[in-house]
Amino acid sequence: MPNVVAEKGSSLSAITRDPVRRVWLLRTPSSSYGLTLTGEDAPLNLHWGPPRTLPQVVALAGPDRVSPNSFEGADDGWEELPVDGGTRYGPAALQVRFADGTRAIEWAFLGSEITEAENGSTLRLNFTDRHYPLKIALFYRVLEGSDVIERWVELENSGGQERIEILRADSAAWSVPTRPAYRLSHVVGRWGAEFQLRRTELSSGETVLTSRRGITSHHANPWVMLDAGDAGEEHGEVWGAAFTWSGSWRITVARDPVDKVIFTGGFGHEGVRWFLEPGQKLRTPVFAGLYSPAGFGAASRGWHDYALRRILPHPEEVRPVLYNSWEATGFEVSESGQVELATRAAAIGIELFVMDDGWFGRRTSDRAGLGDWQVNRDRFPDGLEPLVHEVHRLGMKFGLWVEPEMVNPDSDLYREHPDWVLRFRNRRRSELRNQLVLNFADPAVSDWAFGWLTELVGDCRIDFLKWDMNRAFSEAGWPENTGDPDRLWIDHTRAVYRIMDRLRAEHPGLRIESCSGGGGRIDLGVLARTDQVWPSDNTDAFDRLLIQEGYSQLYPARAMTAWVTDNPHFVTGRRTRLEFRFHVAMTGVLGIGGDISSWSEHELAQARELIALYKDIRPVVQHGKLYRSPAAGSVQYVTDARTVVFVFAPTGHFGQSRPPVRVAGLDPEGSYRDEDTGVVHSGAVLLDRGLEISLPVGDYASAIVRLRRI
């Protein structure tokens, strides 16, 4: 049970306060965060940066600022949750409309609580509007041993009669200290090219990163990092935040003309609004922030550590090597074909066999059958049982593809329940990939989905679900809900979460992979109820290098599924060495997605060896710390005992020099033995001069070096 210490906070706690000056200080191992209240009770940022003491942060709390002229707000760029109203001209993080039409909010501070629990401390600041029945609580959680600070907001309509319209309810605004320059790091993308890292000067004005698609999206991912233009992989200050949500979202980064930067983020997007009925509460998802004093590499390691401590359901497990049948068969699945693939997969060392799309209803193409989750008896005359039994007999776990949120209009489900899909009256229902989106915000629909999923998992002894979601929302209406239809933007995602949570609770052995036409739904929200994610349908190893670099900025290798597929690649037409394809996939959770029934004996033998090698290095890759060196083309994983260095040289010129790869994260006093050659290296030499790594001649060359501390 947490111990609630109202209006207290011991000096040893991660959270302390000065009640007279109304200053609070949050401390993490490498950072601290200070805030105060203005004379009008608005919460204001004082500090987000290196570790500071309470007196040092109190010294930052000067007298209230005054507007420099009649066109500026005094506190723009500094507020913890800029509300709509008063002399504020930046992006509002909280905008509501009361029943009488008033939109502005005026803060009135009610008090604070510091809660100490085993794994961290939480600060809660309680406010109400000065006049209207709206309670606002700001939460800050500091986790033991982590530099991540979690923030969220709880709103409550504390009145008895009238509802309050919510126009924007962000989870937090993060105020970045004033610097002479700013760079914004984030990712952009599209189907087949997710997680493309962009690091560009932050322009003055407002930069909006958003998804209006009802899912996280391939096009942007809900995190940002800011630096003063001087940070690198292993040096420089970086401020960042990531949002734990898998529906539509929006982060607005504002740089004002006097170079103050603030960013605010939350669920929903512009134009979407919903209501708080009397007595109702709304709790926003966490928008977590992290300050790194040591570059983007340290920031990424901080986020990976957070995912491990706080997000992933089974972080300690090593993920199995999987085989997925999609690229081999497309929709042409059959019991005999799957058994043949499974037999070959088991022989090369696969541990989890996943059957993809095409096993149910009349799903012989993407035009029909979605929604009809009964086994296709033409393809599996005795149901799934014989295949599952055979896969288990071969010593592998069995995984199955599902897409619960979707329906093809050509399906029995749609013919029976045409009113279950997102739609507007008098508007066409736009199809994408010949499918429509089921409205999971409607409890009848989400109960139906949970019902067939739990039955399928239980009856068929399914060990792993690949949960796919293959189209963006459109015509997101809910005609039966005349009072609050936009609520579906939030409640759909919440229902997906609830189903996943219930499935996990009822089937503790079940593991889930999040997929959305590749990487359309990867975020800290879905990672909290899945075990791994599918970053892209583009499995071309050369393209994957970039996708994986972008992915790794925030998300850990232990959750990143990566398949080895066929030559030439089906998207890019590129031919690459089998070893290169393996090495690229071995930097995450290795899987095979090629048509192994057409691989030669030589290729299968190579695959068997490389899978065995992966199983040896897997604890280091999946549980070690990641160091990237994009310039050297290297990616490295480090645990106390072992280090694995990957080097990739997709192409090069004759005579081009390849400097030694400097190995990071080692002890300069330590000695490290190359596990393949037996050569012993000094830690200092590896750190300072680097390691000569010989690569095969030709394009798409790569190598792995395993070092063990002695």
List interacting residues with ligand DGJ (CB under 6 A): 326, 356-357, 401, 468, 470, 515, 517-518, 534, 537
- Indicate the burial class of 572 (C-beta count within 10 angstroms; 0-12, 13-18, 19 or more): middle
Smallest distance from ligand DGJ to CB 538, Å: 10
Smallest distance from ligand DGJ to CB 563, Å: 9
Cis preceding linkage at 568, omega within 30: yes
Half-sphere exposure of 616 (CA within 13 A, CB side): 16
Torsion of CA 52, 55, 60, 63, to 10 degrees: 160
Q: Report the residue number whose CB is nearest to ligand DGJ.
A: 357
Catalytic site residue 537?
yes
Amino acid present at 414 = Y
Smallest distance from ligand DGJ to CB 692, Å: 39
- Who contacts 131 (Cβ-Cβ below 8 Å, separation ≥6)? 106
Q: Which is nearer to ligand DGJ, 282 or 432 (CB)?
A: 432
β-sheet with 15-18: strand ranges across: 15-18, 23-28, 31-37, 43-49
Smallest distance from ligand DGJ to CB 383, Å: 21
Smallest distance from ligand DGJ to CB 324, Å: 7
What phi and psi values does residue 261 have, to the nearest 5 degrees? -120, 135
Q: Which is nearer to ligand DGJ, 132 or 326 (CB)?
A: 326
Smallest distance from ligand DGJ to CB 518, Å: 5
Smallest distance from ligand DGJ to CB 470, Å: 5
Q: Which is nearer to ligand DGJ, 357 or 579 (CB)?
A: 357
φ/ψ bin of 160: left (φ > 0), alpha (ψ from -120 to 50), beta (otherwise): alpha
Pairing mode, strands 589-592 and 322-324: parallel
Q: Which is nearer to ligand DGJ, 128 or 516 (CB)?
A: 516
CB 558 within 8 A of CB 622: yes
CB 393 within 8 A of CB 353: no
Which of 284, 273, 179 shows the shortest CA–CA distance to 229? 179
Among candidate residues 537, 540, 543, 566, the one labeled active-site is 537
Half-sphere exposure of 197 (CA within 13 A, CB side): 18
Smallest distance from ligand DGJ to CB 456, Å: 17
What phi and psi values does residue 41 have, to the nearest 5 degrees? 75, 10
Q: Which is nearer to ligand DGJ, 128 or 470 (CB)?
A: 470
SS3 category, 225: strand
Q: Which is nearer to ligand DGJ, 401 or 450 (CB)?
A: 401
Q: Which is nearer to ligand DGJ, 361 or 517 (CB)?
A: 517
Pairing mode, strands 261-267 and 249-255: antiparallel
Smallest distance from ligand DGJ to CB 403, Å: 7
- Indicate the burial class of 49 (C-beta count within 10 angstroms; 0-12, 13-18, 19 or more): middle
Catalytic site residue 468?
yes
Q: Which is nearer to ligand DGJ, 127 or 534 (CB)?
A: 534
Q: Which is nearer to ligand DGJ, 95 or 536 (CB)?
A: 536
**Tokens for 250?**
């929006």
Pairing mode, strands 15-18 and 31-37: unpaired
Among candidate residues 75, 468, 491, 540, the one labeled active-site is 468
- Who contacts 333 (Cβ-Cβ below 8 Å, separation ≥6)? 325, 355, 356, 357, 358, 359, 379
Q: Which residues are catalytic?
A: 468, 537
